[in-house]
Structure 1
Amino acid sequence: MSHSIEITPIDDQCPLLHQTKKDNIEEAGKINGQYTNKSANHIIDEKLKDLDKYTSKKFIAIFKVNVGLRKSNPDAYTPMLISIGPYHKKNPQLGSMEKYKLMYLRRFLQRKRGLDVEHCITEIEKLKGIALKCYDDIENLDNDIVDKFSEILLLDGCFVVEFIRECSGMKPNREDKIISTNCMINLVLRDLLLLENQLPFFVLTKLQYMTKEVDEVPITKLVKETFFSILPKMAHASYLEREGDVKCIKHLLQLVHMSSHPSYYNSLWHVQDLSLKIISKDQDYQTWHANMPNVTELCEAGVRFSKVGNTYSDLEDRTTLFDIKFENGRMRMPCFEVDDVTETLLRNLIAYEQQTCDVLPKHFSDFAVFMDYLID
């Protein structure tokens, strides 16, 4: 679509100022809300300089979900019960959980004699600068949130660490669970795996280290044990394997993502590879989008379907969500339970893949595309 701009001849314009001199036109233009080329250049130069204040993209690990992904189901990316980190701190509907954060903070402090809030804030202040750089668009947050960022990291971080400890059976002796109802537990687990509701993982590791007992297992293992039960069809063996250098872990959602790979990981299941097998070996990646058949068409063509593994994840079933195979006219697919949290988890794992450039292969995105074509 073309756009036109109406330009009024200079002779028909009203004088900016009475008997304006030529060398004063630039200043007069500013008074009237207009800018000369020189002043426009100055404005753009200032904006370019402001870029130095913004976070380098290589540090960003915690994103706001973009509009394209959010529009189909905004609620899937929004906390229902608790805000973790700065993005949803101003949501009044989540304010009731602040008292629980204080309760978990008190339990955290009681784990080590002599530990107090002042010492914790001092330690968190050392991490504040790099932690801020982990968030996208942090410069547009309210000033009071940035000013209280160390407090946010402490309260939210202690909540996450102590809640995960509690879920793993590590609450202090003779004390009740702070959050004990299944409904609240499931909602907290859901909210802790939202892309916009993350804390830098090094904050969590620091807090655990400050109060870690001698025989306490690493927080990575505690996280995996806590979230395994709510993830759809994750092989226990692959999910609980060691994940290498903890310094490479960005946040909880990434840890869950990097632990949720196909059981035959070395073969790198990928949607277009499987799709091309179904269509024709002669067709390439550019054509499979338009030719991938749905289930009805596959059945009419003689393809048979069979399930692999059990519906519910267990210690003996090594089948994962991605273990889909097509051989000799038979499509073998894992079955899994779908509940109220399943869509939210899958959407946030996909959002993480789509907005993080160094995530390859993108297993959850591939799975969603493949299933979308099958269901049509």
Structure 2
Amino acid sequence: MKYLIVTANLFKEIETERIEERRRVDHLIETEQINGEDRSRSQTNMKSTNQIFDEMFEHLDNLSIKSCTIFKVNVGLRESNPDAYTPKMVSIGPYHEENHQLRPMEKYKLLFLRRFLQRKRGLDVESCMSELGKRKEEALKCYDNIVDLYNDTTRTDQFLRMLLLDGCFVVEFIRERAKKVTTGVPEGEHYIINVDCMVNQILRDLLLLENQLPFFVLTMLDDLTKQVNEFPLRQLVRFAFVDTLPKVTPASITELHQAENFKHLLHIVHTLCHPLEKKSTSRLTGKSSSKSRWFNCSPANRSKEKSKAKEARDSFITWHKVMPNATELSEAGVSFEKVGHIYRAMDEDSAEDSTSLFDIKFEDGVMKIPSFHVNDFTETLLRNLIAYEQQTSDVRSRYFTDFAIFMDYLIDTDKDVSLLRLNEIIRSRIGEDKEVASLFNKLAKGVVNLDEVFYYEEETKKANQYCQKPWNRMKASLLRNYFDSPWTGASTVAAIILLILTAMQTVLAFTGCVKK
């Protein structure tokens, strides 16, 4: 009996061990299966991830990275004044198309489209859209990453309708505005929009960087209905926007004749404003020396090269110091003088004047600055021109960027603005001087000079050097304290004469006593 109990217990232990062994084996099998599935799933995921990135790489070829000419303003520039880059009256192009606040202008777009079609017999919407469709892909790539938004037939038609409506609006509005400026047609005659407030807002909106159409679209539409004896569209732009710009160079019309491949209206305005005579000054001339030139020259010449490089670095440090503001320059003896004129119309008598907004000179203690207007739209225009310079590779000389930096140096407070205004350099239409000062102080925020050339390098360097000479400050202090007006000047001269006479009398009296 005892044997049977022991045997039974042994069989139970053996069976228990078998069960446990089977469980361990089953667990190992399940673990291996799970690991195998995980490895297989991981490989599948890896393959899927690779496919995803391959598709993303392939998609890059369809993006408008290289051909983009109409940009969205970057955050660094936008954050200081977002409203300066946003349309308030009319949306042009796809970026602000969904802005419902701009819907009231859609009826005016239709009115301008109808007048556009009436200019040529047989011209209709379908034929215009057919012409635009030939360059649809090129137009899409002018914008920042919108190709995917118009990849189906419905959205493509919507894009072409937008090009037609907005393009005809821009072309007809520019024609209407240019005709009024050049011919002076009586008010209210043949004008669709003749309310000054609306006109000014539209002119503002048409020069926003995000509110542009490719210029080849506008040119294509203009060519469809342009008469033989009419000006090309790029010339009409000059007349249409003359009252909006801070300063227009009458002689710049010659460059508009010669220039080609304009990207959009803002590009034309940029060309219209820049100086005809371009100067080139490198910030650090020693940087331009090539390695081969350095290693091939003799030890004596190497010493000269080192000396030149040091002079260049010293020159860079001299001009790169923040230039004193207008008040400090005045206290150091610098005087301010306006140059050129502001033309609000294109007079033939003024066609020889080539003074641009950027022709600032410093000579013999005199800072010569072109006179320019500051109005309600000046900040918006300058900001968008600067944004275009900052984000495009089409513009080599960034005149507006350098102008903003220079004016930020020159203006710190309303006293600086007052000094420039009294010298007829700034003609303000926006109220108090502190508002103008605030405009230029904020204008340069987020702005980076991207070139090795600062357009006002020489002027900044000369102004700093002039202020560092003690005699200039002493002379300025003397003139300011004793000759700031005719009365104080006369009093000072009389005091000097009296002092001289007193000294002479004292000398004569002393010599008379000695003789006795």
Q: Same fold (TM over 0.5)?
A: yes
1:353 and 2:365 correspond: no
TM-score by length of 1: 0.83
Give the letter for the 1:297 counterpart.
E
1:284/1:300 Cα in 2 relative to 1: closer, same or farther (>3 Å)?
same
Determine the structure 1 residue equivalent to 2:98: 90
Distance 1:241 1:38 in 2: 57
Q: Which protein shows a greater Rg?
A: 2
Counterpart pick for 1:292 among 298, 302, 323:
323
Aligned-residue identity in percent:
55
Distance 2:372 2:283 in 1: 19
Q: Deviations over 1:185-240 (max 9, x none)?
A: 11111111111111111111111111111211111111111112210112111246
1:301/1:37 Cα in 2 relative to 1: closer, same or farther (>3 Å)?
farther
Determine the structure 2 residue equivalent to 1:238: 252
Whether the aligned pair in 2 keeps the contact of 1:322 and 1:363 (CA below 8 Å) is yes
Distance 1:26 1:175 in 2: 79
1:240/1:194 Cα in 2 relative to 1: closer, same or farther (>3 Å)?
farther
Pairing of 1:334-353 with structure 2 (within 5 A) = 334-353=370-389
Determine the structure 1 residue equivalent to 2:70: 62
Distance 1:230 1:98 in 2: 24
Determine the structure 2 residue equivalent to 1:260: 273
Counterpart pick for 2:369 among 333, 342, 350:
333
1:51 and 2:87 correspond: no
Whether the aligned pair in 2 keeps the contact of 1:262 and 1:269 (CA below 8 Å) is no
Determine the structure 1 residue equivalent to 2:13: none
Which structure's residues are more often helix, by fraction? Answer: 2
Determine the structure 1 residue equivalent to 2:119: 111
Whether the aligned pair in 1 keeps the contact of 2:250 and 2:354 (CA below 8 Å) is yes
Determine the structure 2 residue equivalent to 1:21: 34
Determine the structure 2 residue equivalent to 1:203: 217
Q: Deviations over 1:235-292 (max 9, x none)?
A: 111246434254x1111110111121125x143589999xxxxxx9873335633443
Q: SS at 1:84's partner residue?
A: coil
Determine the structure 2 residue equivalent to 1:188: 202
Give aligned pairs, total.
347
Deviates more, 1:286-295 or 1:101-110: 286-295
Determine the structure 2 residue equivalent to 1:367: 403
Distance 1:140 1:71 in 2: 27
Determine the structure 2 residue equivalent to 1:222: 236
Whether the aligned pair in 2 keeps the contact of 1:243 and 1:259 (CA below 8 Å) is no
Q: SS at 1:234's partner residue?
A: coil
Q: SS at 2:243's partner residue?
A: helix
Distance 1:48 1:36 in 2: 18
Distance 2:341 2:62 in 1: 52
1:282/1:27 Cα in 2 relative to 1: closer, same or farther (>3 Å)?
closer
Q: Deviations over 1:293-352 (max 9, x none)?
A: 222332232212122234555543543211111011111112222111111111111111
Q: SS at 1:101's partner residue?
A: helix
Determine the structure 1 residue equivalent to 2:479: none
Whether the aligned pair in 2 keeps the contact of 1:262 and 1:268 (CA below 8 Å) is no
The answer to which structure, 1 or 2, has the higher relative contact order (CA under 8 A, 6+ apart) is 1
Determine the structure 2 residue equivalent to 1:10: none
Give the letter for the 1:85 counterpart.
G
Whether the aligned pair in 1 keeps the contact of 2:336 and 2:367 (CA below 8 Å) is yes
Determine the structure 2 residue equivalent to 1:302: 333
Whether the aligned pair in 2 keeps the contact of 1:271 and 1:369 (CA below 8 Å) is no
Give the Å deviation of 1:56. 4.1
Whether the aligned pair in 1 keeps the contact of 2:248 and 2:342 (CA below 8 Å) is no
Distance 1:243 1:354 in 2: 26
TM-score by length of 2: 0.62
1:360/1:242 Cα in 2 relative to 1: closer, same or farther (>3 Å)?
same
Distance 1:311 1:189 in 2: 19
Counterpart pick for 2:161 among 121, 131, 151:
151
Determine the structure 1 residue equivalent to 2:291: none
Distance 1:114 1:134 in 2: 30
Q: Which runs of 5+ in 1 are unaligned?
A: 1-17, 274-279
Whether the aligned pair in 2 keeps the contact of 1:312 and 1:336 (CA below 8 Å) is no
Give the Å deviation of 1:121. 1.1
1:215/1:243 Cα in 2 relative to 1: closer, same or farther (>3 Å)?
closer
Whether the aligned pair in 2 keeps the contact of 1:269 and 1:322 (CA below 8 Å) is no
Determine the structure 2 residue equivalent to 1:168: 178
Q: Deviations over 1:72-99 (max 9, x none)?
A: 1111111110011111000001111010
Distance 2:342 2:283 in 1: 22
Give the Å deviation of 1:21. 2.4
Whether the aligned pair in 1 keeps the contact of 2:284 and 2:312 (CA below 8 Å) is no
Q: SS at 1:337's partner residue?
A: strand
Give the letter for the 1:164 counterpart.
I
Give the letter for the 1:365 counterpart.
T
Determine the structure 1 residue equivalent to 2:290: none
Distance 1:282 1:56 in 2: 37
Whether the aligned pair in 1 keeps the contact of 2:360 and 2:370 (CA below 8 Å) is yes
Whether the aligned pair in 2 keeps the contact of 1:270 and 1:366 (CA below 8 Å) is no
Give the letter for the 2:249 counterpart.
A
Q: What is the root-mean-square deviation in Å for CA atoms of aligned residues?
A: 3.0
